[in-house]
Amino acid sequence: MMPIWTKSGEKHAVTLLKVQDCHVLRYVPKEESGGKRAKLFVGGKNASPFYKSESAMEIFKEAGVPRKQKVTTFNVTDDAIIKPGTPLYAAHFRPGQFVDVTAKTIGKGFQGVMKRWGFKGQPASHGQTKTHRRPGAISTNKASKVYRGKKMPGKMGNIYRTSFGLKVWRINTKHNIIYVNGSVPGHTNCLVKVKDTKLPSYKDCNKNPPFPTFFADGDEKLPEDLYDEEMFQFTDPSVTYA
């Protein structure tokens, strides 16, 4: 995570996400997939092919791509279908876009009710016998049962969570890095899924995105760094309020 300054001198914290060897693996048309849209399987970081069975390696062999650490699905409209085997780059996103980031949260193991659900516990002194971090009452007398989903101690973390509506400030095309506003779930160097926002307030923010994706062997030659309009670039002189 890094600080970033705007042209008006405000500071924002930014997370760096690296797009590491992403390829499209398979296209599943609308009829075969059980939903309303076609699906595209996309694979992430490269990994060793020797630790998986032959049947699992079939998808990668069809696409002609080394084995990937993580495979995710994206629901896609018919005009955004990409041929399996195309690499995906960070330039697929542009500065000024808004993005949702999904990842597995840091696993905390088996945790008590105070850390897991934020319960207040009991006082440390004034006569409490062996009760300082316990949940207290779990149901009423009339219910005479414990409701499903009652907040109780258990394994915390290591589940998929999403942060919505994160602004993209900067894109580095050489190293394939996306600078995303705010924090992102997961530990450092964990695998993360980046999608366009589902929030309705940012519907009009993607003005001219590269559609269906950014092709590296195409005609477009992008500069090494793409900045958002409001972001302060370090090549400019210091900010003044004249």
Instruction: Tell me if 64 contacts another protein by CB under 8 A.
Output: no
Q: Least distance in Å: CB of 4 to another protein?
A: 8
Do strands 160-172 and 98-104 pair parallel, antiparallel, or not at all (unpaired)? antiparallel
Strand partners, 71: 43
DSSP code for 6: B
Among the listed residues 132, 3, 118, 104, the one whose alpha carbon sits nearest the alpha carbon of residue 44: 104
Q: Nearest Cα to 119, choosing from 85, 144, 153, 95? A: 153
- Only one of the segments 105-113, 120-128, 201-209, 231-239 lies at the binding site for another protein (rule: CB under 8 A); that segment is 231-239
The site map against another protein for 181-220 (x = CB under 8 A) is: -------xx-------------------------------
Segment interacting with another protein (CB under 8 A) among 52-60, 74-82, 123-131, 171-179: 171-179
Residue 50 or 234: the one with the smaller Cβ distance to another protein is 234
Distance CA(78)–CA(214), nearest Å, equals 17
| Contact set for another protein, span 99-138 (CB under 8 A) | none
SS3 letters across 43-65: ECCECCHHHCCHHHHHHHHHHCC
Is position 147 an interface residue for another protein (rule: CB under 8 A)? Answer: no
Residues that bind another protein (CB under 8 A): 2-3, 5, 9, 11, 16, 18, 172, 175, 177, 188-189, 232, 234-242
